[in-house]
Amino acid sequence: MSDQVNRFLGDSLGRTLIKLVVVSLIVGFVMTVFGLTPWNIIYGFRDFILELWHRGFAALGRVGDYLLLGATIVIPLFVILRLFSYRR
């Protein structure tokens, strides 16, 4: 059992715990310097997804506007070009 745990962790249990404590202290210090908290990260991710969702539907609305605007030029030109090629 101990050999499987060591293989899973990559080292002994004690050394792995010490490494995790040291890395956690360093990451915690860096996050404090930048003013980050775990809740800020979670809320930031949530806000990013919501903003992406809302902007995505706004972009679809703009695509419809662009489609109608372009169609006012493209469709009459298409009809005119088809009429001229029909006569040949």
Given a cut of 80, is residue 2 above it in pLDDT? Answer: no
pLDDT at 1: 62
pLDDT, one tens digit per residue, over 3-16 is 777 777 787 888 88
For the chain, the C-alpha Rg in angstroms (whole number) is 30
CB within 8 Å of 13: residues ≥ 6 apart:
5, 6
Q: What pLDDT is attached to residue 87?
A: 66
Query: Residue 29 has what pLDDT?
Result: 93
**Torsion on CA atoms 53, 55, 59, 60, rounded to nearest 10:** 30
Q: What is the mean pLDDT of residues 66-79?
A: 89
Answer yes or no: do 40 and 83 share one domain.
yes
Distance CA 81, CA 35 (A): 63
Higher pLDDT residue, 33 or 53? 33
**Same domain, residue pair 10 and 45:** no
Query: What CA–CA distance (Å, rounded) separates 25 from 1?
Result: 30
Say if residue 24 is in the same domain as residue 62.
Answer: no
Whether residue 41 sits in one domain with residue 31: no
With 0.75 as the threshold, say if the pTM is over it: no
